[in-house]
Amino acid sequence: MTQYENVHPALGTALDARGYETLTSVQTAVIEPEAKNRDLLVSAQTGSGKTVAFGMAMAETLLGDAERFGRAAEPLALVIAPTRELAQQVKAELTWLYAKCGTIIASCVGGMDIRRERRDLAHGCHILVGTPGRLRDHIERGSLDLTWLKTVVLDEADEMLDLGFREDLEFILSNAPQDRQTFLFSATVPKPIAELAKTYQRDALRITTAEERKQHADIDYHAHLIAPKDKEKAVINVLRYHEATSTMIFCSTREMVRHLSARLSNRGFAVVALSGELSQAERNHALQAMRDGRARVCVATDVAARGIDLPNLDLVIHADLPNNSETLLHRSGRTGRAGRQGNCAIIVPQNKRHQVNRLLKFANLRATWSQIPGIDAILKRDQERIFANPMLQDVPTGDQLENAQSLLAIYGPEQVAAAFLATQQSNYPAPEEIIEIADRFEERSQSRDRADFDDGVWFRVNAGRKHRAEPRWLLPMICRIGGFSKKKVGFIRILEAETVFELSPDVADTFFETAQTEGTGEKSLRIEKIGDRPASIGRNDEGPRGKGGRGKRGDSQGPDRFKRGKRPEGRGGRKQHGDYKGKKTFGGKPRSKARD
């Protein structure tokens, strides 16, 4: 049996039974003599064992010198968590930690049967775990009495404030005894958390076990630059490249969770969804499917995934970018836990590169920028996985050997090996073809040589000067269709009835194929491939990117979308001054609410 200094003996036995050999830094810090019977304000990185830490820290106050609890009545300890999943996870952790103490642990969380919770409270408990809204509901209904509380724990306090639970927390804490012990556990301690601690804690001991906003040492970060329309394909290729045992994909909205999970399921991935619109039973089923291996991919929103600990989670994918650096750290912290190596992939639309750089800077993270794995790279990884298949290491014996020899006698070794490879490859969903995005930051560091376009490929679009065609919407449209930067675009010459433009040869074929299959985004616009430089444009012509002239005022022929006063709207187009309809305007723009 391992001896844990300053740990209550009953809890030490539970730690041994759980297989603990050493404690984490936060677990060690909260049981130091200086922390005994004091309020604690603790910040530690995600996955550092905070639940076990506050479980050990409150044992001294709850049990004293006793080995077991007495008869259960009103709760002695209250743990408040932001979400149902985290509350149930905390309850499960405390259950095994206090298994030798005769502890009764109850829970009160939204989405569960409130009548059953009321019966559990009436029967009594020693430790109560709940979410802010449901706990307040029980207090107001008179089914929860906090008179005998000795310890209150706020787990993931920063997230509870972000979710708008401040009023509920203040109500609960104001109904708890003034002489209680209060623990605040939070990944970070921004100003609102510091103010909450100052109001509801007494001479709290500040414990920081890791520098705030510090990168997980056990997580490799990869940022992949993509064309915006390739986001779903990029997610598929990242999943295929890593083939992780367990993956969590984060989306910003419930709709995106539904859409992406359906897309992945159709492609053959074992996937579950996790969002706030699901019932508690559905969410529990999804998490259990991940834990027992029936599902390998979980697509979730930030709120639904708060505090969830999935064992063996090897990969986190940010399908939608997080709103801030704290969310980036929280999402990424789902992997790389308990000493395991984790991977984090950030899917970056090419127009969001600056935003991601800011997020990484504020989070004090370094990411490796690279292209999304392509088909060739994925198939190569598949080959490596197949060649390392443990079945190939087994030496056949008995009937297995006899059948193998018979098979070889009929078909030969090459045909049998090819069949084995095909069978194994069929287990993997097919990878997607991705448009390669040139890193425009790398491009800027290189001098541009016009000789790059000596063999440029020319295209024609059916909009010219008389249609009011302008480079300011033509160039972004071309780059959007092709998924590349403007460095791949050579000359743009706006003629009377059409516009011709030049593309670098390495992107021309992909651009034309995309334009034909997906269109330009404007019903009246068509793009044709010319090939060589038009005869009407000489080699010495000047005017890269649209110096070929502007439309005359009053011209009104051509496609309807480009008549005078009807510039293209939305993709690449701009509205005329004062054209905005349906709302009060000020200077041709919608008034803000402050002006109305």
The angle subtended at Cα 272 by Cα 353 and Cα 44, nearest 5°, is: 60
pLDDT mean over 14-21: 86
Answer whether 328's CB lies under 8 Å from 364's CB.
no
For residue 371, what is the DSSP state?
Answer: P
Instruction: Order the strands of the 342-349 sheet from edge to edge.
Output: 271-274, 297-301, 247-251, 315-318, 342-349, 219-226, 368-370
Cα separation, 40 vs 362, whole angstroms: 26
- How many residues are listed for the chain in this entry? 596
3-state secondary structure 469-521: CCHHHHHHHHHHHHCCCHHHEEEEEECCCCEEEEECHHHHHHHHHHHHHHCCC
**Across 169-178, 193-202, 297-306, least confident range:** 297-306
Residue 342 is predicted with a pLDDT of: 87
Cα separation, 244 vs 381, whole angstroms: 12
- Quick one: which of 122, 126, 108, 116 has its CA closest to 71? 126
- Structural domains in the chain, CATH included, are 9-208 (3.40.50.300), 219-377 (3.40.50.300), 449-562 (3.30.70.330)
Cα separation, 48 vs 341, whole angstroms: 14
346 pLDDT more than 70: yes
Q: What SS3 state is found at 121?
A: helix
Cα separation, 188 vs 193, whole angstroms: 8
Tell me whether residue 548 is exposed, middle or buried, using C-beta atoms within 10 angstroms of its C-beta: 0 to 12, 13 to 18, 19 or more: buried
pLDDT in tens, 41-99: 998 766 678 899 999 999 989 988 888 998 989 999 999 998 888 898 899 999 999 99
Residue 124 is predicted with a pLDDT of: 94
Residue 9 is predicted with a pLDDT of: 85
Cα separation, 3 vs 18, whole angstroms: 14
**Crossing angle between the packed helical segments 132-141 and 114-123, to the nearest 10 degrees:** 70
User: Rounded to an integer, what is the distance from CA 530 to the centroid of its chain?
Assistant: 43
* Share of residues in the chain with pLDDT > 70 (%): 83
38 pLDDT more than 80: yes
Count Cα neighbours of 322 within 13 Å in the Cβ-side half-sphere.
Answer: 25
Handedness of CA 134, 139, 144, 145 (dihedral sign): positive
Buried b (16+ CB within 10 A) or exposed e, 89-110: bbbebbeebbebbebbbbbbbb
Residue 24 is predicted with a pLDDT of: 85
pLDDT in tens, 102-142: 999 999 998 788 999 999 999 999 999 999 999 999 999 99
Residue 234 is predicted with a pLDDT of: 94
539 pLDDT more than 60: no
Per-residue pLDDT band for 451 (boundaries 50, 70, 90) equals very low
pLDDT in tens, 351-370: 888 899 999 988 888 899 98
Q: What SS3 state is found at 381?
A: helix
Identity of the amino acid at 189:
V
pLDDT mean over 273-298: 87
pLDDT in tens, 391-404: 888 888 888 888 98
Count Cα neighbours of 254 within 13 Å in the Cβ-side half-sphere.
Answer: 6
Q: Are strands 315-318 and 342-349 parallel, antiparallel or unpaired?
A: parallel
Per-residue pLDDT band for 444 (boundaries 50, 70, 90) equals very low
Answer whether 80's CB lies under 8 Å from 155's CB.
yes
pLDDT in tens, 399-430: 888 898 898 889 988 998 999 888 888 888 88
* Share of residues in the chain with pLDDT > 90 (%): 32
227 pLDDT more than 70: yes
Residue 167 is predicted with a pLDDT of: 92
Residue 438 is predicted with a pLDDT of: 57
Q: How many CB atoms lie within 10 A of CB 411?
A: 13
- Quick one: which of 376, 482, 368 has its CA closest to 433? 376
